[in-house]
Amino acid sequence: MPAEVIITARKVWPRVAAVVANELKREGSGRDAEALAAEIWEGVLRSVAKALQRKGDSSSTVRNFEPYLLAAFHHRFHRFQRAERGRRDRFQPASASLDLGLVEGAQDTELVLELERAITIRQIIDRMDPWTKKAWQARQYDYTWKEIAAWLSLSEQAAKKKFEHGLEKNRQRIVRLLKTVRSRKPA
């Protein structure tokens, strides 16, 4: 990456971190603003580096990298926020969308099964290793395997295999846990 881009990136970083912190504070989000900003910023810088590498330094039409980097960051950050809002809309907390008092006496077994399924899925996701969980969440946000692989500098096939391996490890952990619980129950 050209030195000019690196210098500009260091200069712009505090503004980027402040934008994310202010936005998350306004939304009342408990997310770690600096970690989120760093994750998005890293993606922007990788993308810019790849674009410059493809075009070659001599053919770059960017005269001032500061507004260019800021615009790229804002674009990615707003895309992240849209995906996050979509996820929140899809997965509202059970207490917000259901009257749990009605569930207790419910005759509709489908509703009960759906609730149990949602709880089970949440518990399984909570037991995933961080990488598998992150890949799962990215897929829920409709990111393609190609995009996920690009973030990790892996091939698409390698990213899928790593995800499948993570799921299998998680499945084995849960099976072991269930066997342990069953063996402890008195007969």
Q: What share of the chain is helix, strand, coil (3-state, %, to 5)?
A: 80, 0, 20
On the question of pLDDT at 50 being above 90, the answer is: no
Min mean pLDDT across 23-32, 77-86, 138-147 is at: 23-32
**Higher-confidence residue: 167 or 29?**
167
Cβ burial of 2 (10 Å; 0-12, 13-18, 19+) is middle
How many CB atoms within 10 Å of residue 86?
13
Q: What is the mean pLDDT of the segment spanning 70-92?
A: 84
Q: Provide mean pLDDT across the span 98-111.
A: 60
The pLDDT, as a whole number, for residue 12 is 92
What is the spatial distance between Cα 125 and Cα 137, in angstroms, rounded to a whole number? 9
pLDDT the model gives residue 73: 92
Cα–Cα dist 106/89, whole Å:
25
Whether the per-residue pLDDT at 72 is higher than 70: the answer is yes
Q: Are 46 and 3 in contact (CB under 8 A)?
A: no
Residue 36 pLDDT: 87
* % of the chain beyond a pLDDT of 70: 86
Please give the pLDDT value at position 164: 93
pLDDT band at 98 (very low <50, low <70, confident <90, very high): low
